[in-house]
Structure 1
Amino acid sequence: MEINFSSISNNILVHIAIIILVAFLLHFFSDTIVSYFIKVLTRRQKDQTKTDAKKREATLTSIFSTVAKLFIWTVAIVAILDAINLNISSIAAGAGVVGIIVGLGAQTTIRDYLAGVFIILENQYRVGDVITLSGGSTGMTGTSGTVEDITLRITKLRGLDGTLNVVRNGEASIITNRTFKFANIVIDIGIDYKSDIDVVENIMNKVGQDMMKNEKFLHNIFEPISFLYIDDLSDSSIIVRAMGKVKPAEQWEVAGEYRRLLLKAFNEANVKIALPQVVVHKEN
């Protein structure tokens, strides 16, 4: 259907200008409006940490801001077409036929959108989480990183080396979330067989308790890192295991500091870290 632009009156042009202006204003303020309503609707629950609540809020805001902007411009386009007396029903009918044709070839995209809906509803991961995505029909072996953005179709992961990976939501069948509610630190250390195991246990527990008193780590540790058990008696060392519970995403920094302090404490107490030993038999 051809549009006779010469027949469009000044009133209609003003009407269209107002529609576009309102759409731009709503688009500009949509993030703020959506963020406000998300905060009201997702008040922090009793079993949620402050960090978890913020991640959930950021994720939902990102999703619904995109949906809101799409809705705003869809309504604006329909209103403009109506203002110039274009037959919307005939366009809708034609679009329906095209939609069926496109839909038959877009099953993968539909699957991605459905997967995105379940990711959001089930709170599988949020913006800011550190996750690994693997499995799926493509046989993805494991893509890891920090979630930078989630839409209904894709998830953007920023790797430790700065690489940005864009993964379709329907592509992964296994989701490993390393920063959900809490994280456990598990540290295995090999010590010399001549070491006094009771002394080792006391040192490991004291280092963990001292970290709980450190202002830097006080609010990041739920349960202090402490001696758990002797995990193995290997060829050249006693493998002792320590474990603690910390805030999500804090496990790497806390574990690194614990190892540093433990090494200093072992050196002061003359507890030796075991080194690999090789026995060489010399034949005459």
Structure 2
Amino acid sequence: METITNQFTSLWDYLTGPELWIMIGTGILRIILILVLAVTIVKVTRKLVNRLFSNREKGSRIRITERRENTLKKLIKNVVAYVVYFIAFIMILDNVLGFQVGALLAGAGVAGLAIGFGAQNLVRDVISGFFIIFEDQFSVGDYVAVAGVEGTVEEIGLRTTKVLSWTGEMNVLPNGNVTQVTNYSTHNGLSLVDINIPYESNVEDAERIINEVAATLPGKYEFILGTPEIIGVQNLEVSHFVIRVIADTLPGFQWAGERNIRKEMQDQLYKEGIQIPAPRVVMYNRSDRETITEQNREREQ
């Protein structure tokens, strides 16, 4: 009983003694200093990154899009924050709490290697997602064709990308399956319209009407950039010839441009008396064939 009393007394003296509280206070102070230093480094780095991109815009001849710049700045800031906070966490474990960090890191490395072998597809998706963001292959709001799916990008994550089809389906694609991307939103679109004109109509009259309508389209539709241009007669078909018209549009509006150009052209051509050509079938009976044969003989003579 006396032994237990002595041990309890020793424990109480240790808990109420100055050595323990000095050690706890010193540890807390060191933790606070490490965290303050880490936060300061992160904030200073973020300001340096903002200033770096600001100076680059003023002095560099290389221009990048605003969304690309925001992606790069955010990525650099996040990477720096993760690295600094991880180092601060390791310093607290090693210098303050007295853990064996070497053994801990070795165990984490072995565990990570085992998990990596068992989750190769997950690792591939994450790496592919990183490169999609870093290379700015597409951004949220872009209209893309990717992995056999076409639609508007709703969300980009490190593992999956969500694409909303124009008919309303939400497609969730693993980033590892994104091997080829067609982005319709990075450059101006090109509307291509073929207008069928019957052979009874004159080419010059048809082109005059088309040019008159084309001159009014930029004022009606803000997504049409500049006056549509006639390329020329594209094809000679059985019952009509084809005049091709092209027009520059805002990114992703090439299909809307085609629909509206086709509507405006058809309406004005119809008003001017140029009808839509219809398929034709020419039939001859035997008497007509004999008449044509005699006429050809007379011409030859």
Counterparts of residues 117-128 of structure 1 (less than 5 Å): 117-120=130-133, 122-128=135-141
Is 1:238–2:241 an aligned residue pair?
yes
Counterpart-to-counterpart distance in 2, 1:149 and 1:47: 28
TM-score normalised according to structure 2 size: 0.65
Q: Pick from 61, 71, 94: which aligns with 2:107?
A: 94
* Bigger helix fraction: 2
Residues of 1 paired with 2:88 and 2:175: CA distance? Answer: 29
TM-score (norm 1): 0.68
Partner of residue 273 from structure 2, selected from 270, 274, 277: 270
Structure with more contact order per residue of length (Cα contacts < 8 Å, sep ≥ 6): 1
Show the counterpart of 2:175.
169
Instruction: Tell me whether 1:9 sits opposite 2:12 in the alignment.
Output: no
Deviations 1:141-181 (A, max 9, x none): x1122234444544332332444333233313322121223
**How far off its partner does 1:99 sit?**
1.6
Compute the displacement of 1:185 (Å).
Answer: 1.3
Contact preservation (8 Å) 1:55, 1:128 = no
Aligned residues: 260
Residues 101-112 of structure 1 aligned to structure 2 (within 5 Å) = 101-112=114-125
Name the counterpart of 2:222: 217
Over 3 Å counting, the alpha-carbon distance change for 1:80 and 1:198 in structure 2 is farther
| Structure with bigger gyration radius | 2
How far apart are 1:96 and its partner, in Å?
A: 0.8
Between the aligned partners of 1:166 and 1:35, the Cα distance in structure 2 is 33
C-alpha distance 254-133 of structure 1, shift in aligned 2 (>3 A): same
- CA-CA distance at 1:228 after TM superposition: 1.7
Contact 1:229 1:241 in 2 (8 A): yes
> How far did 1:227 drift?
1.8
Q: 1:11 to 1:217 in 2, by over 3 A?
A: same
Structure 1 residue 69: deviation in Å?
5.7
Change (3 A) 1:68 1:279: farther
Over the aligned positions, Cα root-mean-square deviation in angstroms equals 4.2
- Aligned match of 1:144: 150
Alpha-carbon distance in 1 for matches of 2:145, 2:281: 41
The answer on 1:252 being equivalent to 2:258 is no
Shift of 1:22: 9.1
Q: Which residue of 1 aligns with 2:291?
A: none
The alignment partner of 1:241 has SS state of strand
Q: Which runs of 5+ in 2 are unaligned?
A: 1-14, 284-301
